[in-house]
Amino acid sequence: MTLMKTDTAGTGLLPTPTHARNAGMPLDLDWVAGVEANTSAIERRCATLPGRRSVKKEYQAAWLLKAITLIDLTTLSGDDTPGRVERLCAKARQPVRQDILNRLGMPGITTGAVCVYHEMVETAVRALEGTNIPVAAVSTGFPAGLSPYALRIREIGESVKAGAREIDIVISRRHVLTGNWQALYDEMAEMRAACGEAHVKAILATGELQTLRNVARASLVCMMAGADFIKTSTGKETVNATLPVSLTMIRAIRDYQARTGFKVGYKPAGGISKAKDALVYLALMKDELGHAWLQPDLFRFGASSLLGDIERQLEHYLTGQYSAGYRHAMG
């Protein structure tokens, strides 16, 4: 049974497209000040998604396989060990049991990246040798972003030196809450410069920004400063990724691309643990941004437990039965 020889159901399983990296632009305060967010309209739009965009049977399996390729498989715990990270990397290389992948005709699938703290970057890089799976490091005083500024910039450089190809930085929320857009822009631009060739994901910590208007404006400022991705959350806030926040950020990406020509990626993180939720996010991305944003260079899920539920759903598709979680271990 081969689901993926062609682009089944428009799921985006095609070679990754190339696009110019976001070069940023001078801060345009008039554009930022003109950004608004109609909260009630955004919430109404999001409320319709789960029912209107459901997929079943082989189409659902195809979309779930696509979702696996977009996962930043993550461990960000104080008790992380080299052994845990090595097991996580093994799971990234072989995200689904081989017998399941063989029956689905997708033997070579991997996750989009592995995301760890700086201390574990070298371990992850070694464990992923021989693959194209990038290591992403959370940086800049993650998750609060309140360590001394010079140390945050240095931390980026150390993670890049250790082999991280992607850096997930956290912005200073106070700049958003006080409307100090110049300070946010300058901070983001310096962090982007410190990353060098490594791509930077700007974590907005949207659950702490109070309003969708703040989310929209912060998204735009970070893109102006050169962010390659904008990301919802650290996963440590009380409220993490939500559909209204996602729609707000996605439309900011669309507006930025329309005006500048640069494509910027999107990463919802925190709270996405069920396969059915991943399907809704994929439908939202395709509806709002189109086929190009269903590739790992423009869309990622920040998740850990999501992969296990997707694997269970794929086995259910093949066998008609749900298996126990221990059959789909994380390493």
Catalytic residues: 168, 231, 267
Give the sheet arrangement for strand 199-203, strand by strand. 265-267, 229-231, 199-203, 166-170, 135-138, 113-117, 71-74, 301-303
Q: Is the dihedral of CA 167, 172, 176, 182 positive or negative?
A: negative
Note whether 227 and 235 are within 8 A (CB).
Answer: no
Rounded CA-CA distance 212/81 in Å is 37
Element (H, E) at 277: helix 275-289
Residue closest to 157 by CA, chosen among 188, 199, 120, 195 = 195
Closest CA to 270 of 93, 74, 80, 50: 74
Q: Cα–Cα distance between 241 and 233 in angstroms, integer? A: 6
- Using CA atoms, how far residue 199 sits from 16, 137, 191, 193, 297, in Å, is 16, 11, 11, 10, 10
Q: What is the rounded distance in angstroms from the CA atom of residue 301 to the CA atom of residue 280?
A: 12
Strand partners, 71: 301
